[in-house]
A and B are shown apart, each in its own frame.
Chain A
Amino acid sequence: MAVRLSLEVAARSVLVSLLPAVGIAWLLARGRFPGRMLLDALVHLPLVVPPVVVGWGLLMLFGVRGPIGAPLQDWFGIRLVFTTEGAALATAVMSFPLIVRAVRLGLENVDPGLEAAARTLGAGPLDRFVTVTLPLMSPGILAGAVTAFAAGLGEFGAVITFASNIPGETQTLPLAIYAATQTPGGEAVAARLALVSFALAVAGLLLAEAIARHLGRLLGRGA
């Protein structure tokens, strides 16, 4: 149960953060505007701030009486605190810098000369992005998604602070392991879950490698 929930939370977090991550990565890699450094620092904040603090911050913002949480609750009836969605949000925020970094790296690997070539062939901005930039940066996007997914499976501090530790609702794999270790006689369960966690991580890495290779071939590298 915790395994399935973990997969779901991690997948949802990746889905939520992928699009904004591509946008932010674009701004950071190509944008020339005041405050770019500030945005860069802000994005990377979850990497250096203790996860518990991030969870606390989310609680303040998205709590039922928070500046974002209250309107969400009143107008849409959406409550994030102590829900699976909330766990996904906390995970997304935590893994956001990982995705942005990978996507940005992928974007910086795209030769602007190719986009210039597309321009002279009559491709407008959106056309260029979709037909040239996006396919060429896809290895970076993929790497970001896989890394974020793997990291999301293991997110602990922010989830337990913001979404609590509710079995079947917000109790993801690491939370379940933690709970098992706190339960007398739970060592066997903890060991089993730890093994599953390990297996998932390895499988994720192998999958990422396989897809990266395939994409590399498609993109004409190392042919």
Chain B
Amino acid sequence: MIEVALRHRFGQGWGAARRAGFALDAAFAVPAAGVTALFGPSGCGKSTILAAVAGLLRPQAGRVAIGGEVLLDTATRAFVPPERRRCGLVFQDARLFPHLSVETNLRYGLRRAPRGAAGPDMAEVVMLLGIGHLLHRRPAGLSGGERQRVALGRALLSRPRLLLMDEPLAALDAARRAEVLPFLARLRDAAGLPILYVTHALDEVDALADQMVLLEEGRVLAAGPVEALTARTDLAPLAGRRDAGVLLPCVVGDAADGLRLLEFAGGALLTTAQPGPPGTRLRVRIRARDVAVATEEPRGLSTRNILPVTIAAIDAAGEAGEVFLRLAAGPTTLLARVTRDSVARLALRPGLPVWALIKAVTFDHRAPPATPWEVPACPG
């Protein structure tokens, strides 16, 4: 487990993260495996948490432990300095050493890794991140995306037991993000390291994360598996967004007529996308605004993805005049965003069997290429 409990108040003191009156009071425990996203709006304290885990910030009170080993405990005055924590940190701004070549940058952590620490070697990392052609260049000559890939490699080569990423894509434009994201997914799959990933971009959570810790104003709102959290409508930072929706684990099924079947627990979707051979596991995001409901089985409709579901609950949406319908398709929950007017007109109520019309899904591949992209579920 990765256990983090922190209390810190930024006052008039020193430090870059100084914000008058900002108080962090967050605690969570997540499995020490896979990717855990620390998700929340800017200024919610997620980067501060990461700095405290790395040891770069000493909180006024708190405890940090990885796999039972205590890195920080203000109660017993235990403090392992950052250089001995073996937490690789990838910064938003890469922070490559400007006076060293790419190769020397990469070797910086490797040379200081403890003997016997397991991890990928130079050749593997260079291959994984596709940075072989950059080795003799200097950081100043690299693009933002290349810099971030080198920074990933450098952190990975320091043979950390935990990889920390502080919005590694936030400083990049859309094209560079799309360039780096697949490498992040590959790294996640290849390195087998637990990763704490700070972001305020939901698509990065969808693409990478297994667990999510939802933060708001220095507090933890919720923590748990991504799929479980995205289906909750009581979490304002998720539900208040236009792209609120559920994340659905799927398996690619058979193909017919150029269409692919995506099977999930409780149903299947047809798609025109080619997400990979049958058996491929992936996640799709079905946004609440892309789901409509009908009280009778629709006929003569171009939409092919029409699922029989049952209304499980009606939740208030972030916006007045709209609600979320919580739809049960077997064990799977879908969300639909409809107007209160529709609820009244169709006499929608919990327990009512209805038909869910799914207009679009957003893909997130678990296997490379991991770039999420959006296609109509089935234009019909």
Contact = CB atoms under 8 A, between A and B. Distances in A.
A118 B54 CA distance: 12
A121 interface: yes
Interface string A113-136: 110111111111001000110011
Contacts of B99: 135-136, 218-220
B167 to A, nearest CB: 14
**Chain A interface mostly:** helix
Interface residues of A, number: 24
A218 B97 CA distance: 11
A124 B81 CA distance: 9
A120 B82 contact: yes
A221 B98 contact: yes
Contacts of A188: none
B221 interface: no
Contacts of A136: 98-99
Contact of A121 (B14, B98, B158): B158
Nearest to B93: A113
Interface in A82-128: 111, 113-114, 116-124, 127
B98 A220 contact: yes
Interface residues of B, number: 32
A82 B339 CA distance: 96
A58 to B, nearest CB: 38
B97 A114 contact: yes
Interface in B77-136: 81-89, 91, 93, 95, 97-99, 108-109, 112-114
A38 interface: no
B294 interface: no
B287 interface: no
Interface string B49-76: 0000011100000000000000000000
Interface string A183-223: 00000000000000000000000000000000000111111
A218 B54 CA distance: 30
Given A135-B99, A221-B140, A120 B93 contact: no
Nearest to A119: B82
Contacts of A119: 55-56, 81-83
B281 interface: no
Nearest to A138: B99
Contacts of A220: 98-99, 138-141
A123 B112 CA distance: 7
B147 to A, nearest CB: 11
Contacts, number: 75
B154 interface: yes
Given A120-B83, A122-B86, A122-B158, A114 B56 contact: no
Contacts of A219: 98-99
A127 B85 CA distance: 16
A218 B155 CA distance: 23
Contacts of B56: 116, 119-120
A32 B14 CA distance: 11
Nearest to B95: A117
Interface string A27-39: 0000010000000
B140 A223 contact: yes
A117 B89 contact: yes
Contacts of A223: 138, 140-141
Contacts of B114: 122
A135 to B, nearest CB: 5
A132 B83 contact: no
A183 to B, nearest CB: 52
A219 to B, nearest CB: 5
A120 B54 contact: yes
B112 A127 contact: yes
B95 A121 contact: no
Contacts of A122: 83-84, 86, 109, 112-114, 158
Nearest to B51: A116
Contacts of A222: 140
A120 B84 contact: no
A124 B95 contact: no
Nearest to B139: A220
A131 B55 CA distance: 21
Given A123-B112, A136-B98, 11 more contacts: A118-B108, A120-B56, A120-B85, A120-B164, A121-B88, A121-B109, A122-B84, A122-B112, A123-B83, A220-B98, A220-B99
17 contacts: A113-B91, A116-B95, A117-B95, A118-B108, A119-B56, A119-B83, A120-B89, A120-B158, A121-B88, A122-B86, A122-B158, A123-B112, A131-B108, A219-B99, A220-B139, A220-B141, A221-B140
Q: What are the nearest 5 A-B pairs in CB distance?
A: A122-B112, A220-B98, A220-B140, A121-B109, A223-B140
